[in-house]
Amino acid sequence: MNEIRMMNINRRTLLKLFGLTAFTGPLAWAHVQGLDSDEDVQFMKKEHKRFDVYRRLFNKRFNAKPHIIAVCKTELGVQKAVKYADQHGLNINIKSGGHSFEGFSLNHGGMVIDLSQMNSLKLDNDHGLVADPAVSLAQLYHYCLPKGRLLPSGSCASVGLSGITLGGGYGLFSRQFGLTCDYLTGVRLVDVKGNVIDSDELPELLWACRGAGNGNFGVITQLRFKTVNAPTTLYQHRFRAYKLTPKKAAHLAKFWFKQCDTLPNHAFSAFVLNRDTLTIMLTATEHDEEMEQVLSTFNGVMDKNDRLKPDPIEIGVQYYYGHNKPLFFKNISAGYYQSFKDIEACAEALFTQVADTPGAIFQINTLGGRSITWHE
């Protein structure tokens, strides 16, 4: 598992340090007046022709309507938006990529600070990455990989870098290199009173932003990262089994867990059950004897091997970019399993429910791998 050195400080202490209240807390309603858009921020109310475009989330289940959307183009624009919300008692939610599964990038009747226009990034001479909050993962890989650099992160193309970093940042490369937040070296944010704070001046802020979650201490306006040498190749393997009974699916789940116990750290795997069809996905950045053994074992029990060819890494990651348009979906539950024993008692009943529910998908991803410490 990834390891981050903990400091003797908690959320309440940080709030006192900054003089903050949480961004997601309820604020009193007040009459809104004096909206002035400029080159730093555009304020939109529901009458604006692009209001519905900017309130759209990746999960189409959510249809809340904020009173104002502040489309910020600069850090100064974020300051203006936050100060306006503070002065008028508006609850704030922050939207960069809009991929929150439960719609936490949106609110009803308050202000949404939209950062989608703040999406530039650059590598410095020491391979450090400086990024705006709304850089998408597709942008990130398209920019860094051809330059031979990698910031380990997720795979979905339109996810915003700030959101995934603040939440940890797990993806195809995490077992080999660690989480996105492990590589975070600095942030700038606007606090609830509109002040700009840089973690270089307050190191505890950096600690708090390395995977602790979104929406607590302010609006992130800049992120700074270390990067690593990018692997050159992504090896992809996909096995399938068809017409499974719940009992057979449970048997294959047990088998998958056992194989993943010995999976090399440069590999990632997912167990994906959809009705009565199982897909086992394997990716790796190397092709060695360990992988040969794993592939041979899966080949002996699954119905089909798609036999995908390896790709240059900047091409291979694109196969996992996912849907680029909003979808209706519901994430029913999530958990961490140490082994198949954690779900063995309910596996058949669970897979029966998956088989009987159109559109339901049950997925398990591998975790573990690289251990990163604070000063590495």
Gyration radius of the chain's alpha carbons? 22
Residue 190 parent element (H or E): strand 184-190
Identify whether 142 is part of a domain: yes
Domain presence at residue 371: no
Shared-domain flag, residues 154 and 270:
no
User: Considering only CA atoms, which of 225, 72, 96 is closest in space to residue 158?
Assistant: 96
User: Which candidate, 153, 369, 283, places its Cα nearest to that of 145?
Assistant: 153
Domain that holds residue 71: 35-114
Which of 196, 229, 262 corresponds to the end of one domain?
Answer: 229
- The CATH number given to whatever domain includes residue 255 is 3.40.462.20
Q: Which residues contact 147 (CB under 8 A, 6 or more apart)?
A: 123
In a domain, 2, yes or no: no
For residues 205 and 197, the answer to whether their CB atoms sit within 8 Å is: yes
**What CATH number should be reported for the domain holding residue 170?**
3.30.465.10
Do 262 and 350 lie in one domain? The reply is yes
Alpha helices in 10-152 (DSSP H): 11-18, 51-54, 75-87, 137-144
Identify whether 5 is part of a domain.
no
Question: Quick one: pLDDT at residue 331?
Answer: 81
Please report whether residue 312 resides in a domain.
yes
Q: Are residues 358 and 264 in the same domain?
A: yes
Query: DSSP letter at 59?
Result: B
pLDDT along the chain (376 residues), means of 10: 34 43 38 69 94 90 93 97 95 92 89 97 96 97 98 95 94 95 96 95 92 83 98 97 97 96 93 96 94 94 94 96 84 85 95 94 87 54
Are 167 and 270 found together in one domain?
no
Q: In the prediction, which pLDDT does 255 show?
A: 97
